[in-house]
Structure 1
Amino acid sequence: MNCSGFLVSLSGEKFQVAAKAQKSSLIVGAAAIIDALQHGKALDKIYVDVKLVGAELSVLRKLATELAVPLNYVPAQKLNTFNIEGHGGCIAQIAKVQYQNLQDIISFVVDQGQTPLFLILDGITDIRNIGGIARTAWCCGVNAIIIPDKGVGALNDDAILTSAGALEKIPVCRVNSLMKAVDELHLNGVTVFASEMTASKNIADCDFSAPAAIVMGSEEKGVYPALLKICDERISIPMKNNFESLNVSVATGMILYEVMKQRSA
């Protein structure tokens, strides 16, 4: 399902080399960024000088929070690596994908008579994994991928290339809290399954025929404990030989194909 008709509108992350960003993909200056946000322009992230103050910054911060756009406070020298004059302490990167509103997607899927299937990515930073996951999700009929506004790999040109274009087809919902997203899914009657290596429930023993969402965590840390706690089921993939973990992209594919198999039957 392609819902491209919909439109909605870090601190602490490692700063990516700004020089790689093409000037055509940037918006420069607080006023221009505020205008873009107010007119529904999808932004990937906003970089702000740590020493910047003023009324415009307050407006920018409020809009970024409302629209779940990551706001990164960085030293002035980092902004200068964009090699753009007159930025006034603010530079934004235009998003490569159009982020969607989760409730709009849920309502659209239900109105189409489909059984909702969502994929939640928690702490997955490797864009190659994200690209591989997006390809499988699109092939398996996932209605949308849900990501947090912080702690996830950038959906940039490399991610889109790795996904073979799937990230331009499948709706992506960016939220400021995955826990709130799970609450919203629950309110819409969606059962949330969390993938956990040590879970006792085998994916083959789960009922994926009803509305469902699958949470996938990083290979290093798994699903965030507080998020894991509010999920309905913890599920695992059976393995012939004991091993530390499966690659998250491979694991996601195995779970989604189990879902697709059950729903096809």
Structure 2
Amino acid sequence: MSKKESTIFGVYPVLEAIKSEVVFDKVYVQKDLSNPKVDSSLATLEKDGVTINYVPIEKLNRLTKGNHQGIVAITSPISFYSLESIVEKTLASKEDATFLILDQISDVRNFGAILRTAECTGVDAVIIQKKGGAPVSGDTVKTSAGAIFNIPICKVDHIKDAIFYMQASGITTIAATEKAENSIYHTDFKKPIAIIMGSEGKGVSKSVLNLIDEQASLPLLGEINSLNVSVACGAFLYEMVRQRSL
């Protein structure tokens, strides 16, 4: 498992990296590029949920000074885990399994801070969606203070699929939302749980809220009606720690 991201550029190097099952975070492709080999490789990457960015050649020139041939790939600093294997393994060994599902967290600093808190509070795995969330990059490594290497991260096609799987496995899903009637202090965290945290702007999506088992909120006593998602996540996780330590 590498501890930093790296850049691969050029058609054949990228193709070879794909064949070698290198884990990519994102790929930049020159706009209007016409190359059958590149098209084939992009189709493979898209199936794996890799973000493809179509950009002007000037962007590629800034990313690397080499002969990029219209394609630059950024590798991920970590390998990802299978959701099914992590859940099965955790439930077999713990009575109070804890999972964290991130619904479209987009800010890399929030993502890194959440990973750091999750690792410190004993979360068993973090689940993210393949598309639409913050990248798993060198910046994530930095903001997580290295915690990213100590906690399994699972990528799924859709958050809903992860929720259905958790529920089928006997795990209670709890969404963090200011609209909930129950606060975290009236929510039972002493059981196998999966906490769902929403995006910075919209929170947990309505379609996800319709699926989960419970909702919980944080008391807000000031004029502002929401907290930064990484701060809110920390409050949820440490309430869980508090209850389980009693």
What residue identity is the alignment partner of 1:185?
M
**Which residue of structure 2 aligns with residue 96 of structure 1?**
77
**1:205 aligned residue (173, 186, 192):** 186
TM-score by length of 1: 0.82
Give the aligned length: 244
**Which residue of structure 2 aligns with residue 56 of structure 1?**
37
- SS of the residue corresponding to residue 49 of structure 2 reads coil
Report if the CA contact (8 A) 1:160-1:167 is conserved: yes
Within-5 A mapping of 1:141-220: 141-220=122-201
1:45 deviates by 0.9
1:200 deviates by 0.6
1:98 deviates by 2.2
- SS of the residue corresponding to residue 126 of structure 2 reads strand
- SS of the residue corresponding to residue 81 of structure 1 reads helix
Q: In structure 2, what is the Cα distance between the partners aligned to 1:125 and 1:172?
A: 16
Within-5 A mapping of 1:1-265: 25-241=6-222, 243-265=224-246
Q: In structure 1, what is the Cα distance between the partners aligned to 2:64 and 2:113?
A: 33
TM-score by length of 2: 0.87
1:197 deviates by 0.7
The CA RMSD over aligned residues, in Å, is 2.3
Give unmatched runs, 5+ long, in structure 2.
none
Report if the CA contact (8 A) 2:95-2:191 is conserved: no
Give unmatched runs, 5+ long, in structure 1.
5-21
| More divergent stretch after superposition (59-68 vs 70-79) | 59-68
Provide closer, same or farther for how the CA distance between residues 27 and 225 of structure 1 changes in structure 2, counting only shifts above 3 A.
same
| More divergent stretch after superposition (233-242 vs 88-97) | 233-242
1:32 deviates by 2.8
**Which residue of structure 2 aligns with residue 17 of structure 1?**
none
Provide closer, same or farther for how the CA distance between residues 65 and 264 of structure 1 changes in structure 2, counting only shifts above 3 A.
farther
User: Stretches of 4+ moved more than 4 A in 1?
Assistant: none
Post-superposition CA distance 1:186-229 (Å, at most 9, x none): 33222221111121122122222222111111332111222222
